[in-house]
Structure 1
Amino acid sequence: MTQEAPTRRVVVPGLIVTAAGAAAGYVVASGSSAADPKPPAAEANAVGTAAGGGDTATPLANLADIPANGGLVLEDASMVLTRDGGNGVKAFTSVCTHQGCNVSSVEGGKIICPCHGSKFDAQTGAPVAGPAGEPLAPIPVTVRDDAVFRG
């Protein structure tokens, strides 16, 4: 069975529909803010860079709120704070590097993502189980006067 070449009756309407769709897409996209330049700290997950800004004068949490050898997920700040056995605190983005779900808890030295079972080392942010292959981005924090601050 041989295939016939498309006729003008088939090709021309297809080209017209394609051109109309492209024009409509251009009009919609040109009115959208999605393509506007973003500040340098913006990332796809809206958390910002690992060193990202934030209020350095307002405490993120009190040291007593973070269990020793455990952690605390700060949903409003999109970060997870982890604490060693003493007063050492580390912070990481709470957005899982697998598919962008938010981690839910810190248990047994691991930061847990409930979506697909990824687990990250609570002291380094490195993936230790599950499908995530990239570490959680670190966020600099300091401990002053028994409180944790960004920066």
Structure 2
Amino acid sequence: MTASLHSASGPARRTVVAAAGAAGLAVALTACGGSDDDASSSPVESGTSGGAPDDGGGGGAAGGAPLARTADIPEGGGKVFADRKVVVTQPSAGEFKAFSATCTHQGCAVKSVADGVINCPCHNSDFSITDGSVRGGPATKPLPAVEITVSGDSITLA
């Protein structure tokens, strides 16, 4: 009788441990911001598809106020403007690009630009500074382009 009680408690313990692990995973995934579908419907992306002019969907940061000076953006690198939800890059001298600063994987904010890539620290997705394409990591969609205007040494969101 002791043997049957002992063996009956084994599967129940495994079930409890497995359920606790699944609950922890669900909490961790929820904390990261959702699924790829959530990021694809973000307001930042909605106004930037197909190279069309940004209709103000760049996180409410559109319109006239200078974003940066051209000297602020290193050649071969870039700078993240977290408050404006945009990252501006300079792939080659005098060529400036801008992309949404919201990672397309799970909606985290990208944090840095180095060695020709924009990095999202949440799951280490990397994106090209030239066109926003995925260079590595779990992200499968590129960062959407954001329209900017460069006039003299001033960069503004269009």
Whether TM-score is above 0.5 comes out as yes
Q: Take 1:130 and 1:83, find their aligned partners in 2: how far apart are those partners? A: 22
Does structure 1 residue 86 correspond to structure 2 residue 93?
yes
TM-score computed with the length of structure 2 as normaliser: 0.65
- Count residues with an aligned counterpart: 109
1:85 offset after TM fit, Å? 2.7
In structure 2, stretches of 5+ residues that fail to align are 1-39, 49-53
Other-structure match for 1:52: 55
Q: Superposition pairs for residues 1-151 of structure 1, below 5 Å?
A: 44-47=41-44, 48-50=46-48, 51-53=54-56, 54-151=61-158
Other-structure match for 1:18: none
1:86 offset after TM fit, Å? 1.0
Q: Is the 8 A contact 1:125 1:138 kept in 2?
A: yes
Q: Which has the larger radius of gyration?
A: 1
Other-structure match for 2:13: none
Q: Is the 8 A contact 1:61 1:149 kept in 2?
A: yes
1:52 offset after TM fit, Å? 3.3
Worse overlay, 122-131 or 84-93: 84-93
1:58 offset after TM fit, Å? 1.2
Q: Take 1:128 and 1:84, find their aligned partners in 2: how far apart are those partners? A: 15
Taking only the aligned residue pairs, the percentage that are identical comes to 40
Other-structure match for 1:34: none
1:49 offset after TM fit, Å? 1.9
* Structure number having the greater helix percentage: 2
Q: Take 2:157 and 2:138, find their aligned partners in 1: how far apart are those partners? A: 29
Name the Cα RMSD after superposition.
Answer: 1.5
1:88 offset after TM fit, Å? 1.0
In structure 1, stretches of 5+ residues that fail to align are 1-42
Any idea what SS the aligned residue of 1:76 has?
A: helix
Q: Take 2:151 and 2:118, find their aligned partners in 1: how far apart are those partners? A: 24
Q: Take 2:149 and 2:92, find their aligned partners in 1: how far apart are those partners? A: 16
1:44 offset after TM fit, Å? 4.3
